[in-house]
Amino acid sequence: MALPCAKCPSSSSRFAPSPPHPVLPRSSRCRAAPSLSSLDCLSRRLVASGVAARPPGRRNSCAFNMVCAQEAVTAPAPSPKGTPSKKSENNGSLTTAVPSKEDSSLTGFTAGGNESTVSITVVGASGDLAKKKIFPALFALYYEGCLPKHFTVFGYARSKMTDAELRNMVSKTLTCRIDKRENCSDKMDEFLKRCFYHSGQYDSEENFTELDKKLREHEAGRISNRLFYLSIPPNIFIDVVKCASTSASSANGWTRVIVEKPFGRDSESSAALTRGLKQYLVEDQIFRIDHYLGKELVENLSVLRFSNLVFEPLWSRQYIRNVQLIFSEDFGTEGRGGYFDSYGIIRDIMQNHLLQILALFAMETPVSLDAEDIRNEKVKVLRSMKPLLLENVVVGQYKSHTKGGITYPAYIDDKTVPKDSLTPTFAAAALFIDNARWDGVPFLMKAGKALHTKRAEIRVQFRHVPGNLYKRSFGTDIDRATNELVIRVQPDEAIYLKINNKVPGLGMRLDRSKLNLHYAARYSKEIPDAYERLLLDAIEGERRLFIRSDELDAAWELFTPLLKELEEKKIAPELYPYGSRGPVGAHYLAAKYNVRWGDLSAEHYPD
């Protein structure tokens, strides 16, 4: 029996164990799939045949465009309607589609019937994020065989553009980075032929009705599933959602909306945004993106903890001294100063990216890998956080600095930033979780722009060994002897554990070494961009990596009082030179809790 097969494992198959040497019987290998790796095919087979754990309610999606001769597989054939639409998501109000005479090889007009299509509309297609991240991610998914057989990408924005102009714009940002495989330019051409553009206003139902007409032409009578990606400034989110839902939502499939951050500026504005969205959408249709959750090592955090016996028993106040969540960029806000000045680093990075990582890190074991079970645990962590006090926060702003004959600008040198701006470009904070597992453990966060390095990492510093027999070998600095687990999210992904060992030889000299999982050395496959994973999840209806509204409320509840206090008291940020290690206040804050920033002490005790 020929079953649909996918080169790309569905999200559920990402939980499938990947055997090191996937040897399949010839008859069960995927065919007609030049770029299909047998590993992916095997992983999919494991899921299809029920060998791998599949969370309840997960679908066999991403199973669109390849044929697998899988005599050995006994999975049921997919539903004739393809991806089932969830009733709660189906907000459609339109009637039957009208096929046109377009090229059937592209739009599949002659097919009609029960097959399904996915139409992805990038709203704000002329913008930076669309060019930089969304279109390249969609192409990568197409290249990897992860998009359905019938899909269309529409760009929507006010700028006037023809389809050809959009394709030309998009083509400049597509890359063939994926494992340097062949046929990339052919694939690009094929992908670009599936991309179209519609120019319209964001608050015009008439313009969205025109878009709907075009989408229906491409859907050609198939079951229509529609994904709108709001890559626009937040003040127009509601207008777009209103028009898209009333005039361009699917009549017979699902309609989903990916919402980019920022989700408000504080508790009130965030609640107002959620209320506005929920006038037209149900929660299940809203996919609030935090692209850090799509990063490989952030996704791996739960795997590391819950599938290795050696970590979970240590994951508490009993063994962990402190946890550090560090984000730094070695460039300023160049080009985004206008946006940044009304948000600042706390809203831009801490309230979302770092706090999401903290919640994932600290949550209790979820009942299952189901999205709701995971999000339930995350929200409990967020709601258990102690109020964040001003005395536990340090803010900074970068100033101009000249190095090697080059002058780097101050934050306030940006023309779009007021000269007297107090907006922090750096912040450090000490947070505490008021529950039995984490009572008293400082979770230190640090985020900054225009620092000396670009990195994102999680550092877990373990307690001292009680009555350490070897303490003399470490001199007076017993912090040197403690274990540290580092999860380097980027760049150069790695997970390493610092341990103590004996220097080989007749003496007894101790050394500090790393047990190192260095991704580039371990895996030849390039790591997908976070946007690829998240777009695929949204298409599949997998919500695990998206933010639920109660998570968002809890995150704002934590940060809003602090942000208000900073703004009302007009707290002046400590200035730090562009390219430096940030304000010295961050060291004092850490010292207050007997902590040393791991990223900086690594310079003294090499990583």
Residue 542 CA, distance from chain mean position: 13
Residue closer to ligand BG6 (CB basis): 222 or 291 = 291
Amino acid at 38: S
Q: How many CB atoms lie within 10 A of CB 105?
A: 9
Binding ligand NDP (rule: CB under 6 A), the pick from 28, 38, 159, 500 is 159
Phi, psi of 376 (to 5 degrees): -60, -40
Q: Tell me the sheet residues that pair with 497.
A: 485, 515
Query: Any bridge partners for residue 514, and if so which?
Result: 498
Per-residue x/- mask for ligand BG6, residues 246 to 285, rule CB under 6 A? ----------------------------------------
SS3 readout for 63-130: CCCEEEECCCCCCCCCCCCCCCCCHHHCCCCCCCCCCCCCCHHHHCCCCCCCCEEEEEEEECCCCHHH
Q: Which of 112, 233, 387, 440 binds ligand NDP (CB under 6 A)?
A: 233
Is the sign of the CA dihedral 159, 163, 165, 171 positive or negative? positive
Binding mask of the shown chain, residues 257 to 276, with x at each position contacting ligand NDP by CB under 6 A: ---xxx--------------
Neighbouring C-beta atoms of residue 420, cutoff 10 Å: 7
**Residue 348 vs 542, nearer CB to ligand BG6:** 348
Angle, nearest 10°, between helix axes 267-278 and 549-568? Answer: 150
CB 593 within 8 A of CB 392: no
φ and ψ of 512, to 5 deg = -120, 125
Q: Which does 348 bind (CB under 5 to 8 A by kind): ligand NDP, ligand BG6, none?
A: ligand BG6
- Which of 157, 301 has the CB closer to ligand NDP? 157
Does 128 engage in binding with ligand NDP (CB under 6 A)? yes
Binding partner of 231, given ligand NDP, ligand BG6, none, CB within 5-8 angstroms per partner class: ligand NDP
Does 234 interact with ligand NDP (rule: CB under 6 A)?
Answer: yes
Is residue 155 exposed (0-12), middle (13-18) or buried (19+ Cβ within 10 Å)?
buried
Quick check: 28 and 56 in contact, CB under 8 A? Answer: no
Which residues lie across from 198 on neighbouring strands? 156
**Position among 40, 89, 341, 348 found at the interface with ligand BG6 (CB under 6 A):** 348
Give whichever of 202 and 398 is closer to ligand NDP, judged by the CB atom: 202
* Residue 129 touches ligand NDP, criterion: CB under 6 A: yes
Question: Does residue 173 interact with ligand NDP by CB under 6 A?
Answer: no
Considering only 256-264, 376-384, 434-442, 592-600, which stretch makes contact with ligand NDP by CB under 6 A?
256-264
Report the catalytic residues: 353
Q: Which of 24, 236, 389, 602 binds ligand NDP (CB under 6 A)?
A: 236
> 551: how many CB neighbours lie within 10 A of its CB?
22
* CA pair distance 465, 473, nearest whole angstrom: 13
Q: Which residues from 4-43 bind ligand NDP, rule CB under 6 A?
A: none
Query: Of 121, 228, 135, which is closest to residue 188 (Cα–Cα)?
Result: 135
Q: Does 127 bind ligand NDP (CB under 6 A)?
A: yes
Q: State which residue, 158 or 380, has the beta carbon closest to ligand NDP.
A: 158
Judged by beta carbon distances under 5 to 8 A according to partner kind, the member of ligand BG6, ligand NDP, none in contact with residue 537 is: none
Judged by CB under 6 A, the residue of 231, 247, 267, 601 near ligand NDP is: 231
The reply to whether 124 sits near ligand NDP by the rule CB under 6 A is: yes
User: Residue 170 or 232: which CB sits closer to ligand NDP?
Assistant: 232
Based on CB atoms, which residue is closest to ligand BG6, 331 or 523?
331
Give the residues lining the site for ligand BG6 (CB under 6 A): 291, 329, 348, 456
Give the residues lining the site for ligand NDP (CB under 6 A): 124, 126-130, 157-159, 202, 231-234, 236, 260-262, 339
